Structure 1
Amino acid sequence: MRLIDLSRTITHKMPRLPNHPMISLSEFTTHAEKREVEGYVFSSAVMLLNMGDHSGTHVDAPRHFDERPGAKGIDEMPLENFFTEAVCLDLSHKPLKSDISVGDLEAAVEAAGVKIKPRDTVLLHMDHYRRTWGTEGYLTDFPGLTKESATWLGRHGITAFGVEAVSPGRPGRSNFEVHHVCRDMGFTHIEGLVNLDQLVGKGRFRFIGFPLKIAGGTGSPIRAVALLED
């Protein structure tokens, strides 16, 4: 058994979309601050985190992209949705700023020798993180799904798909269309993944990525992990 960490480290002022809150980490208390209780002297360290519910590696809840009454918040989503079988498709050959077509997905499935099953999580390795991390292009230059390719995934009855980028579709109309495909077909997506190259060619594995139980949350940071039975 082997665990592969698919999560980005949450850091102070880490890159995020400009319409999302800045991530702020600071010391709230340190070991330099001593306390005495009933003659016993001790100290404790505590960090203060200030960030939105779409910070770092995170999953979107239906409430994020579905304006209809009754759309579920992250605290209402079944835990089974975050502990699923999974496959990883290799799309690393796609140029930056390009669209991922239905044909691209079909070719990637054939090359991987896998079958997408109902309730799978499908991870899409686009080699975006390696190519753009540390540059302004990280927020804008990723390959992305289209309305048609997201619909193709949805027709397989998946629970979710995951990408390295900050959004599932290219910036602009395409990204909103992909979110609405998720709304209309009843699945969601994970953003900000890393280390997907380590899953290429591994066949089927287990995906684990439980969210925080945020009341009414529109999403949540997750500790995304792949469990491989080597």
Structure 2
Amino acid sequence: MTRLIDLSVTTRSTPSEATPVTVDLLDHRTGATVLGLTPEDFPDGMAISNETVTLTTHTGTHMDAPLHYGPLSGGSPAKSIDQVPLEWCHGPGVRLDVRDVPPGEGITTDHLEAAFKEAGHEPVPGDIALLWTGADRLWGGAEYLREFPGLTGEGTAYLVERGIRVIGIDAWGLDRPMHRMIEDYQHTGDNAHLWPAHIYGRTAEYLQLEKLAHLGDLPAATGFTICCFPVAVEGAGAGWTRVVALVEDAAP
């Protein structure tokens, strides 16, 4: 029996979002007037509703496409979100437990190797790697924007060079918190501190899933399939994504 586990957050206005989200409702009665009719023209005195939503493509659980990282990836034009092959967005998942990495610090190659060892799994091409930081417990508050570890550039290369096309994280971003990267750059003058995981995508193309949730609900580190098809926004660097794990449970 296949069980579905939702690994997405609800898209809404919250202090956990860095940019505003607005939802303007056209209710059932008002909906009649935009059609040139009255509510009384419809059964039950109601037409149909609609919503106008204003948000960025990086709001809520979403997928970053190579175009987000730069105009080129591996020397070729970087793919926009509508150009991402759907085959990349469906595959075996592996949950990498990196909850011991402190907020603000980098998830290194050593952390990843230890997590793969703990999972009893060697990375193979087509795996979808999910970084389990535990930061989704902060979803709903402003601290969600600041209190999480992030993947290093070397860690990104380690995964992508092993054929992993999709890397997800249960935090606001894949890199370390913005304020930590900027502070380190200002203190050292070394721009390698700025978004190294993202910028690695200029070397080799890969996809990021940001703002995942409920990775702790997965029954094990492996043995499940991830579906993460993004909304195809033409020419955009990201798209909203409902991420779902498919778990095969034993028949009762």
Same topology, TM > 0.5: yes
Give the residue type in structure 1 aligned to 2:6: D
Larger radius of gyration: 2
Q: TM-score, normalised by structure 1?
A: 0.90
Q: 126, 133, 154: which is aligned to 2:160?
A: 154
1:107-126 correspondence to structure 2 within 5 Å:
107-126=114-133
The answer to whether the aligner puts 1:57 opposite 2:61 as a matched pair is yes
Give the residue type in structure 1 aligned to 2:89: F
1:23-53 CA-partner distances (Å, limit 9, x unpaired): 21121x112336348x942411111111111
Q: 129, 134, 137: which is aligned to 2:143?
A: 137
Could you say if the C-alpha distance between residues 34 and 61 of structure 1 is closer, same or farther in structure 2, counting changes exceeding 3 Å? closer
Q: 235, 239, 251: which is aligned to 1:216?
A: 235
User: What is the CA distance between 1:98 and its match in structure 2?
Assistant: 2.0
Any gaps of 5 or more consecutive residues in structure 2?
Answer: 182-191
On the 8 A contact 2:16/2:141 being kept in 1, the answer is no
Any gaps of 5 or more consecutive residues in structure 1?
Answer: none
1:68-123 CA-partner distances (Å, limit 9, x unpaired): 37221111111111112211111122222222121111111111112211021100
Q: 197, 200, 223: which is aligned to 2:216?
A: 197
Q: Distance in 2 between matches of 1:146 and 1:200?
A: 27
Q: TM-score, normalised by structure 2?
A: 0.82
Q: Percent identity?
A: 32
Aligned residues: 224
Structure 2 match to 1:8: 9
Structure 2 match to 1:67: 71
RMSD, aligned CA: 2.0
Structure 1 match to 2:202: 183
On the 8 A contact 1:146/1:174 being kept in 2, the answer is no
Give the residue type in structure 1 aligned to 2:205: G
